[in-house]
Amino acid sequence: MSNKMWGGRFETGPDAIMEEINVSIGFDQRLYAQDIAGSKAHASMLAAKGIIDKADAEKIAAGLDTILSEIEGGQFTFQRALEDIHMNVESRLAQLIGASAGRLHTARSRNDQVATDFRLYVRDTLDTLDAQIRDLQKALTEKALHYSGTVMPGFTHLQTAQPVTFGHHLMAYVEMLGRDRGRLRDARARLNECPLGAAALAGTSFPIDRFATATALGFDRPTANSLDSVSDRDFVLETLAAASICAMHLSRFAEEIVIWTSPLVGLIKLSDRFTTGSSIMPQKRNPDAAELVRAKIGRIAGAFNGLLMVMKGLALAYAKDMQEDKEGAFDAFSTLSLMIAATAGMVRDMVPNEKKMKEAAGQGYSTATDLADWLVRVLGLPFREAHHVTGRIVGLASDREIPLHKLKLEEMQGVEPRITKEVFGVLSVSKSVASRVSYGGTAPKNVRAQAKRWLKQLAKEG
C-alpha cells in the first residue's frame, strides 16, 4: 500500500529497506514544537489572505494545540510509516478535525516546512547555548576575582615561562568564550530569515504573505530566493563551526584541568562531585569529567565535517541527502550543552593549591625576563644585550641549582658589574606579576578590574 500522504502515483508501498533508509521520525520528532508553531503561523496567514476559510484555520489551530499537548504529555504515537514529523502531525490532525486538515498544506511543501522547522530549532538552541556560556563566563570570572592575586606559573611550550596569576589565567577563557558567543550570535542573526512559503523550490502561485508568517515566527524577514530557501543548510554549518571552536576552547581548558589535578603537578583539586575512582586502585581520583569534556569535541567537529561532505556535491535545490543534516547536528548541540554544563560545574568546584602554585611559579627561572627588563630600565642596556647578560646569570644559577634570587650580588656583578642590590626587588614572583601593569597584563589590579568589568557586563545581559 502506498503512503496515503503522498502516494497518489504509487501502487505499492516501499520495500522494507527503502523504509529503513528513508524514515526520519526516530530523530526529527524533536522538531515537533517548531513544526506545530510553523503550521499555526501558516494556517493563520492562509486565512488572513482568504486562501482558506477562517473556520478551517481555527480548527487547524485547535487541533495543532491538541497534538502539542499529546506529544508533551507522552500520549502521542509516532508512526514510522509516516516517515517524518511533518506527516505524523498532519496525519494526526486529520484524525482530530477531518477534512479541514487537508487545507493546511496549501502553498507549502515539506521542503520549506523542514527548512523553517530546522531554523527555528537551531535558533532556540543558539539562545540556550548563549545562556549556558554566559553562566560559564560568570563562574570563571567570579573565581578569577577571588584568586586575582594568586600567583601561578605561566607556560609556553608547556615549559615554565613567566609568573602569572590564577585569576589572569581563568580570565583568558572568559575572553575566548566571549568570542564564541559572538560567533554564535552572528550565526543566529544570519539564520533569522523565514523559508516558509518558498514551497518546493519555485515559490507558489497563491497570494500568500510571507512577511506575515516571518513576523509571526519571530524572523526578521522572509528569505529572498525560493531555491536558496529550501536548499540552504549554511545556517547549520555555521552553527556547527562556531560550536566546534567553542568545544575546542573547552577541550583546551579540560586538558589543563587534567594536568593541574595530577599528583605530579597538584595545582588544583576537584571534589568527589567531578571525579571518579578506580575499580582496582582504591587511591585513585580520576578527573573523568574533564577527560570527557576534552574528548567530546570529536563528535561536534565530526558533525560539522559530516554535513559539509553531505552538502558539497548537491546541485540546487532540495535533495534527500539533506535529511542527513539533523542527526549529527542534534547530537553536536546536545554534546556542547553538556560540555558547557560540566565545565561550569568543575570551575565552581575547583580549589587551587595556592602554596604549590606559588612555588611552581618560581621554578624554571621564571623571573629571568624581569631581570632583563631591569637591566634595560635601570642600566640602559639594549634589550638584546640585557637578554644575553641575563642568560649568563641564569646559567650560573642553573649550574649551582639555585633560584635567581639566591645568587649573591657579587656573582651577578661578575657578569655585569653595574648590577646593584636593587635587582633583588624584581626577582620574586609576587613582584613580577605586580609589575605587569600594561593593559591586558597579569597584574592583580588589572585582573580585578577586568573581572569586575565582565561581571557588570554579564549581569546586564542577564
Q: Give residue-wise pLDDT tens across range 28-61.
A: 999 999 999 999 999 999 999 999 999 999 999 9
Of 46-60, 98-112, 148-162, 200-214, give the lowest mean pLDDT range. Answer: 148-162
- Span 307-353, pLDDT tens digits: 999 999 999 999 999 999 999 999 999 999 999 999 999 999 999 99
**Per-residue pLDDT, 20:** 78
Query: Looking at the predicted structure, is the pLDDT value of residue 215 above 90?
Result: yes
The helix (run of H) or strand (run of E) holding residue 46 is helix 32-48
The structure's pTM equals 0.91
**Per-residue pLDDT, 1:** 38
**Per-residue pLDDT, 7:** 54
Of 149-158, 271-280, 425-434, give the lowest mean pLDDT range. Answer: 271-280
Percent of the chain with pLDDT over 70: 97
Query: Looking at the predicted structure, is the pLDDT value of residue 3 above 70?
Result: no
**Collapsing DSSP states into helix, strand and coil, what is residue 171?**
helix
Identified catalytic residue from 2, 69, 271, 278: 278
**Per-residue pLDDT, 17:** 84
Query: Looking at the predicted structure, is the pLDDT value of residue 179 above 50?
Result: yes
- The whole-number average pLDDT for the span 79-84 is 91
Query: Looking at the predicted structure, is the pLDDT value of residue 2 above 70?
Result: no
- The whole-number average pLDDT for the span 380-401 is 94
Cell numbers standing for residue 115? 527548512
Of 98-102, 192-196, 277-281, 395-399, give the lowest mean pLDDT range. Answer: 277-281
Spatial separation of the C-alpha atoms in residues 103 and 100, rounded to whole Å: 6
**Per-residue pLDDT, 377:** 93
Query: For residues 198 and 107, is the Cβ–Cβ distance under 8 A?
Result: no
Cell numbers standing for residue 250? 573547552
Query: Looking at the predicted structure, is the pLDDT value of residue 6 above 60?
Result: no
Q: 157 catalytic, yes or no? A: yes
Query: Looking at the predicted structure, is the pLDDT value of residue 4 above 70?
Result: no
Query: For residues 229 and 112, is the Cβ–Cβ distance under 8 A?
Result: yes
**Per-residue pLDDT, 284:** 77
10 confidence band (pLDDT: 50, 70, 90): low
The helix (run of H) or strand (run of E) holding residue 154 is strand 151-156
Identified catalytic residue from 109, 157, 244, 405: 157
Please provide the average confidence, as pLDDT, over all residues in the chain: 93
**Per-residue pLDDT, 300:** 98
**Per-residue pLDDT, 301:** 98
Query: Looking at the predicted structure, is the pLDDT value of residue 303 above 50?
Result: yes
The CA distances from residue 276 to 189, 335, 339, 394, in Å, are 41, 20, 17, 42
Q: 249 catalytic, yes or no? A: no
405 confidence band (pLDDT: 50, 70, 90): confident
Task: Indicate the angle between helix axes 54-72 and 32-48, nearest 10 degrees.
Answer: 170
- The whole-number average pLDDT for the span 246-252 is 98
- Span 438-461, pLDDT tens digits: 999 999 999 999 999 999 999 999
Torsion of CA 311, 316, 318, 320, to 10 degrees: -50
